[in-house]
Amino acid sequence: MTTEAGSETEVKEKAEESAAQPDPSEKAAEETREVENTEGEEKEKEKEKQKEGKEGKGISRYLPTWLKKQKSQSQTSPTKEVPPSEEAVNEVTQEEKGPAPEVNGHSEEVEEKEAVKSEQVTEKEAESHSNASADTEPAKEEKVEESPEKSPEEAKVRAEGEGAEKPKEVEGEEEGGGEGQTSIFQSPLRLVRKTKMKLVVCHVTLLDGTDFTCEVEKRAKGQYLFFKVCEHLNLLEKDYFGLTYTDSHEQMCWLDPTKEIKRQIRSNNWQFAFNVKFYPPDPSLLTEDITRYLLCLQLREDVASGRLPCSFVTHALLGSYTLQAEFGDYEPDQPRPLDYISQRTFAPNQNKEMEEKILELHKSHRGMTPAQADAQFLENAKKLSMYGVDLHHAKDSEGVDIMLGVCANGLLVYKDRLRINRFAWPKILKISYKRNNFYIKIRPGETEQFESTVGFKLQNHRSAKRLWKVCVENHSFFRLNAPEPPTTKARFLTLGSKFRYSGRTQAQSRMASSLIDRPAPKFERTSSKRISRSLDGAPVISITEAGRDMAENGRELHSDSKSPMRVHGDSIYVRHSNLMLEDHDKTQEEVLKHQASISQLKRSFMEAPPPSPPQPNQWEKRLTSSPATTIRIQQHQVVSQPQTEAAAADNTISDTKEPSKTTEVEIEETVVVQEVSKAPKPGLVKVTISSPAEQETREQEVKVGQEVAVAVEATAAKQPSVSSESESEEEAEYHPNVSVSISHTQIPEEKEEEEEQQKKEEDKPVEQDTSVPDAPSLPAAVSQPVEATSREEEEPRKENAGAEMKKKEEEKEGERETEESTDDPMVTPEEAPNGLTLPEESVTAPAQEEPKMNGEASLVEAEARPQVICCSEPPVVKTEMVTISDTFAAQKTEIATKEVPIVHTETKTITYEAAQLDGNGDGEPGVLMTAQTITSESLCTTTTTHITKTLKGGLSETRIEKRIVITGDCDIDHDEALAQAIKEAKEQHPDMSVTRVVVHKETELAEEED
Amino acid sequence: MANMCPYGRFTHAVVRGIPETFGKAAAAGGGCENGEVSVDLAKAQRQFGCLTGALRQKVGLQLIEIPPDPELPESWRIEDVAVIQGDTALITRPFKQQRRSEAEAVRRVISELNLTVVEMGAEEGDSGGATLEGSDVLFTGREFFVGISSHTNRRGAEVLADTFRDFAVSTVPVCGGARLKNICSMGGPDTIIICSSDGAKKTLRMMEQLTDHHYEVLTVPEESAANCVYIKGPSNRDFLLHRPAEECPESVSAFQKLQDYTLLPTACSEASKLGASLSSLCLLVNRKHTYF
């Protein structure tokens, strides 16, 4: 499992630590060890999965029996698992260390085991150990979840479920190093530990009223249980949901996924409820019907209980959709009418009149499928003013009873039923609580000068904290692109909760779910136990069905897991990308889209850019916009942007609310990564894959996954230990706007903070960029020079990172942003042409096919990137090698003249050298093809282009040299001009790639760019 | 919600004729804001006729006219008596005691239209002290704004919120003794017409603060122009009844900005002397309420 490399190393380290102090009595160390162990175990599990993959579902199936005999486990499992294979061994060696301490830690609990394990330790038993743990896990799962009869299917299910989450888990593991880190992805694999830990039976009340019972280790974290439940429900879009428990004060609390369950519930009552935590503002954007169904169940309960108030008509209407979804068409023949309706609760004060109305409306829904009925239900429910509003009792500053409602848009203040105030997230600068006071600091309005702070009194500090947490989470979920890293350094010195939302944001969730590509899982609709048609068997059935579905997926997954590249990434992406590969029906465009969106997501993951206010919309836009669009936009920007800026742009961009911008940057890097990976192993993916594009997608995803993981780790590192948070904390702060801020003025600060990071990121992409283009055409030869150049570039770039540059860039960017917004609409329509051009290219330049296939995005980016490089250091004369696999006729249009930032008079001399093109050149050797003058409206730029094509022997290589001189007095964006020139050149020779770009820039003005 | 469709679709209008006692209410009631105003009854009736004519013939609504009752000098301000949204009508409790009997006839008509009638006055205990008048209620299609004014109090707004539970009901201050609808009205499904007075601006700011939605705002310089009646008629055309140029010379040009609207200048000078305006004279109902 080379893929695991990252996590493994982590594990190793930890394991070593723990190994160092194997003292069994050391309880203190126990915790940390546990974490480590779990990681190790998780890996083991993965291993196991892999095995399963290889062997079929075989092993796991048998495990249950072992489970029951815990003692023998460790011994038996080794024997059976001996075949594990080399990978296993490798891991084992690493894990070995981890497990050993673990044994000690758990010794009290299972002495016998301990003995066994110690033996293992001495030997090379690592394998056995790991295996043992891995095996036990499945067994338990089965035990808990399913009845023995189904064991075969269960096995499948399990395998699949695990498989599905596996990637995530991987991430989780990586993060796990930090214990308590926020990743949502932490693995359910904890199960492994069970053998050594005390197990506790958890009861989870599901939305349909059924109970789900599940055994978890006493020390399991919240997300373990949560994942188990989701697995049971066959739910992929989990981010909207959560588990609740009732605390000792009879208050309902959300189970923090990153913390141990035991520490949260603080009682022996392991009773939970599965609930919707974040109500999606537009449920129609959910990907799967099953998610909508669960949301419906929650809403039905909300409505029936009165939590979600609605009018008589609405009650009736919602009720009628419920009937339609659950019973299908109204059938007059059946004697059900009013009786069965009156058995059910549709509204808090349901009466005959309402029931009749429900029936009447039900009749009108004839022909509607359950899924449609659910959708209609949601369409209506989502418009209710209290939809998704989480109410908290409070008093205002004058002691008047009010309600505070937290929702997707912000904080609402109600007095009785009346809305008396509202604080949208963008207006809130800080959320904090102190003892039983809850404060929000409000951004000054246009006419006001000072920030104001509004305080509310809650019943006690617990409720204040709960409210605060809900706010933090809702803000993060709905407003941020990515969860905010818990704290800055400064925070370390402060007291209080460092709690932050740890899950995926809505944006991320949407992105992830847009990749869901499984056949719609079947499930039985029952709104509550009371309704009986399928009552007895319902849950079971659904499980089995799920199991089947999963089994299929699971198989696919296995293959993935073998591929080294995949393991690193977030599981969901990986998984789905894989599915995509097998889906031949997908058009390339679709694939590209996915790709682009993925990369976007990943980027946002990595950089945790500040949220942009209109985020949901933004996402929607992004999702719908084709890669082409984004790319184009990107080009503009990139062209005009100096490099450092580009990096900065990542942050700023998101701030600006401009979907396009964010996209641009994201795509760039991702693509780059992807191509790089490709270069070394050209043949790698093709196995199953028919189209190169798909292949790339996969790779890309994988890579991206890695990045993400890294980013996550970083976050984790920053995060203060979660354990520090406890109920005893009496205050905490949260600055939503730090990340949210859109204003340009804030950008500088952020930059400074993230400077390092940015640099790193930049460097990375750059290297890749240069190498990327080469990969397709001339992998070996070109790549080396490229690297060299990239290195050279890095330095200057860093210099550029200097404050001065930043300022300039910022300013520029500011301008650009504004400009862009106007440009956007224009750009979008052009998507189509771009897409069309692709095919042409591929035809003309066979050698480059692969890159092209990858998607427009990648191509474009490749271009853009290099350009950026060229322009980034204006005063410096640089030489770079840039290979561009290009092609596009439509690109010229992409350069929006509007975008031109104001550049003071400066003269740049830019020399492009295109070399080593693949042969389909149309020109005659040595012939001057064109002398071209580019005059764009606002630019007084003259570009002269000399094109020389040289035909090399049999290879029919064509070489084109273009010399472009751009001279201008003022108001010229040379970068852009350059970019445009390049593009035009490309347009003219779509089948060529730019292999060399030399930029010579002379700036005569002291204050060159502004 | 089911009831939530773009603002402006109506099929019926309920109006009530101008009694001979028009304008006498102030004197009778004693100490009212318009005590000294002299009004032209005939002119008022003519204007009323123009309004109903426009609603019926230009816009194409079915008009239900409740005959005037001399005993109820203010009964022509029918908007105050009920708040209708979807198929629910809340019979309000006007601030003035003597106006509360105006509701009877309205209630009858509304019932005939098969609307669900909700009584505000029914629960004396619960809503004791609550007053609410329709001219303080701005329904935007997405939510209610209730102006807390001299005639409408918070309790009244609560009753409204309780009646129309699907919608957010926000309270906003109305300054200067005016009514909410004196300073603003709907000019389209997402358009609020509001006058540019300071008080109105304050109210608008509050509305913007409280809403989750975004509304276009059409600002008119004169308060008299701020009260319009927007109706998307059966023909699917946008109609806007507004005060004619004589009554608001500076604002008429603003209405021209509304694209593809059929503008119907409708005089209302007499009623406005009594603090009323165009919308005060009619209750709009949508009987073709469709669920989607």
Q: Which of A457-466, A660-669, B242-251 has the lowest mean pLDDT?
A: A660-669
Phi, psi (degrees; rounded to nearest 5) at B190: -130, 25
> Hey, which bits of A238-303 come out as E strands?
241-246, 252-254, 271-276
Contact residues on chain B for A346, CB-CB shorter than 8 A: none
% of residues, chain A, pLDDT over 70: 31
Q: From the CA of A422, how many Å to the nearest CA of chain B?
A: 5
Contact residues on chain A for B201, CB-CB shorter than 8 A: none
Q: What is the dihedral of CA A693, A694, A700, A702, to 10 degrees?
A: -160
**How far apart are the C-alpha atoms of A326 and A304, rounded to whole Å?**
16
The verdict on a CB contact (< 8 Å) between A385 and B166 is yes
Closest CB to B212 among A312, A314, A409:
A409
Tell me whether residue A69 is exposed, middle or buried, using C-beta atoms within 10 angstroms of its C-beta: 0 to 12, 13 to 18, 19 or more: exposed
Q: How many CB atoms lie within 10 A of CB A969?
A: 12
Q: Could you give the count of Cα atoms lying within 13 Å of B264 in the half-sphere of its Cβ?
A: 27
**How far apart are the C-alpha atoms of A908 and A437, rounded to whole Å?**
60
Tell me whether residue A218 is exposed, middle or buried, using C-beta atoms within 10 angstroms of its C-beta: 0 to 12, 13 to 18, 19 or more: middle
Highest mean pLDDT among A486-495, B28-37, B175-184: B175-184
- Best A310, A311, A411, A415 member to test B by mutation, with max B CBs in 10 Å, is A311
Q: From the CA of B111, how many Å to the nearest CA of chain A?
A: 16
* CB distance A300 to A344 below 8 Å: no
Q: From the CA of A412, how many Å to the nearest CA of chain B?
A: 8
* β-strand pairing of B12-16 with B62-66: parallel
Closest CB to B210 among A314, A417, A419:
A419
- Best B85, B136, B138, B165 member to test A by mutation, with max A CBs in 10 Å, is B165
Task: Evaluate if residue A431 carries a pLDDT over 80.
Answer: yes
Tell me whether residue A251 is exposed, middle or buried, using C-beta atoms within 10 angstroms of its C-beta: 0 to 12, 13 to 18, 19 or more: middle
* β-strand pairing of A410-415 with A390-395: unpaired
Contact residues on chain A for B164, CB-CB shorter than 8 A: 311
**How far apart are the C-alpha atoms of A389 and A385, rounded to whole Å?**
8
Tell me the H-state helices in A885-1007.
Answer: 891-894, 974-988
Closest CB to B2 among A309, A380, A415:
A380
Minimal Cα distance from A317: which residue of B? B2
Task: Evaluate if residue A483 carries a pLDDT over 70.
Answer: yes
* CB distance B207 to B232 below 8 Å: no
Average pLDDT of span B103-107: 91
Task: Evaluate if residue A896 carries a pLDDT over 80.
Answer: no
> What is the residue-wise DSSP string for B172-214?
EE--TT--HHHHEEEEETTEEEEE-SHHHHHHHHHHHHH-SS-
Quote the ipTM score: 0.90
Task: Evaluate if residue A257 carries a pLDDT over 70.
Answer: yes
The verdict on a CB contact (< 8 Å) between B291 and A317 is yes
Average pLDDT of span B141-153: 92
Q: Which residue has tokens 């009108």?
A: A364
Longest dimension (CA), chain A: 91
Name the amino acid, one letter, at B9: R
Q: From residue B273, give the alpha-carbon distance in Å to each of B31, B36, B220, B224, B248.
A: 16, 10, 19, 10, 14
The verdict on a CB contact (< 8 Å) between B209 and A385 is no
**How far apart are the C-alpha atoms of A427 and A423, rounded to whole Å?**
6
Task: Evaluate if residue A468 carries a pLDDT over 70.
Answer: yes
Span B245-266, pLDDT tens digits: 999 999 989 998 888 899 999 9
* CB distance B112 to B14 below 8 Å: no
Q: From residue B196, give the alpha-carbon distance in Å to each of A210, B182, B256.
A: 58, 12, 17
Find how far residue A237's CA is from the centre of its chain. 12
Q: Give the A-side interface with B, CB within 8 Å.
A: 309-314, 317, 361, 364, 376, 379-380, 383-385, 409, 415-422
The predicted structure's pLDDT at residue B127: 60
The verdict on a CB contact (< 8 Å) between A417 and B212 is no
Tokens standing for A132?
């043992």
The verdict on a CB contact (< 8 Å) between B292 and A416 is no
Span A540-590, pLDDT tens digits: 222 223 333 333 333 333 333 333 333 333 222 222 222 222 233 334 444
Contacts of residue A624, defined as CB under 8 A and 6 or more positions apart, other chains included, come to none
Residue of B212, B225, B218 whose CA lies nearest to B191: B218
Q: From residue A586, give the alpha-carbon distance in Å to each of A582, A670, B37, B66.
A: 9, 21, 76, 65
The predicted structure's pLDDT at residue B259: 85
Contact residues on chain B for A420, CB-CB shorter than 8 A: 170-171, 210
The predicted structure's pLDDT at residue A999: 64
The predicted structure's pLDDT at residue B48: 94
* CB distance B37 to B23 below 8 Å: yes
| A-B C-beta contacts closer than 8 Å | 77
Can you give the pTM of this predicted structure? 0.54
Span A680-705, pLDDT tens digits: 333 333 333 333 444 443 444 434 33
Residue A994 is inside which H or E element, if any? strand A993-1002
**How far apart are the C-alpha atoms of A40 and A92, rounded to whole Å?**
9
The verdict on a CB contact (< 8 Å) between B162 and A364 is no
Q: From the CA of A282, how many Å to the nearest CA of chain B?
A: 13
The verdict on a CB contact (< 8 Å) between A419 and B171 is yes
Q: How many CB atoms lie within 10 A of CB A137?
A: 28
Q: From residue A815, give the alpha-carbon distance in Å to each of A629, A656, A899.
A: 20, 11, 8
Q: From the CA of A376, how many Å to the nearest CA of chain B?
A: 8
- First-residue to last-residue Cα distance in chain B: 9
Contact residues on chain B for A418, CB-CB shorter than 8 A: 146, 154, 157-158, 161, 169-171
Minimal Cα distance from A314: which residue of B? B2
Tell me whether residue A85 is exposed, middle or buried, using C-beta atoms within 10 angstroms of its C-beta: 0 to 12, 13 to 18, 19 or more: middle
Closest CB to A416 among B3, B158, B164:
B158
Closest CB to A383 among B1, B88, B146:
B1
The verdict on a CB contact (< 8 Å) between B292 and A376 is yes
**How far apart are the C-alpha atoms of A474 and A476, rounded to whole Å?**
5
Contacts of residue A523, defined as CB under 8 A and 6 or more positions apart, other chains included, come to A234, A290, A293, A542, A545, A546
* β-strand pairing of A452-457 with B238-242: unpaired
Find how far residue A641's CA is from the centre of its chain. 27
Average pLDDT of span B62-74: 91
> Hey, which bits of A277-389 come out as E strands?
none
Contacts of residue A756, defined as CB under 8 A and 6 or more positions apart, other chains included, come to none
Contact residues on chain A for B168, CB-CB shorter than 8 A: 385, 419
Between A458 and B178, whose confidence is greater?
A458
Average pLDDT of span A402-416: 93
Name the amino acid, one letter, at A332: P
Q: What angle do CA A730, A733, A739 make, to 5 degrees?
A: 160
Closest CB to A417 among B4, B116, B158:
B158
The verdict on a CB contact (< 8 Å) between A421 and B291 is no
**How far apart are the C-alpha atoms of A532 and A516, rounded to whole Å?**
31
The predicted structure's pLDDT at residue A514: 78
Tell me the H-state helices in A69-110.
Answer: 70-81, 86-97, 99-106
The verdict on a CB contact (< 8 Å) between B2 and A313 is yes
Residue B15 is inside which H or E element, if any? strand B12-16
* CB distance B239 to B261 below 8 Å: yes
The predicted structure's pLDDT at residue A145: 38
The verdict on a CB contact (< 8 Å) between A418 and B211 is no
Tokens standing for A991?
């089948």
Span A495-515, pLDDT tens digits: 456 677 777 888 888 877 777
Q: From residue A724, give the alpha-carbon distance in Å to each of A63, A727, B131.
A: 38, 10, 53
Tokens standing for A295?
């949301």
* CB distance A154 to A145 below 8 Å: yes
Q: Which residue has tokens 């050279």?
A: A792
The verdict on a CB contact (< 8 Å) between A310 and B158 is no
Contact residues on chain A for B88, CB-CB shorter than 8 A: 311-313
Task: Evaluate if residue B200 carries a pLDDT over 80.
Answer: yes
Q: What is the DSSP letter of A521?
A: P
Tokens standing for A374?
């659910």
Length of chain A counted residue by residue:
1010
- Best B148, B166, B169 member to test A by mutation, with max A CBs in 10 Å, is B166
Task: Evaluate if residue A951 carries a pLDDT over 50.
Answer: no
The predicted structure's pLDDT at residue A301: 92
The verdict on a CB contact (< 8 Å) between B210 and A421 is yes
Contact residues on chain B for A385, CB-CB shorter than 8 A: 143, 166-169
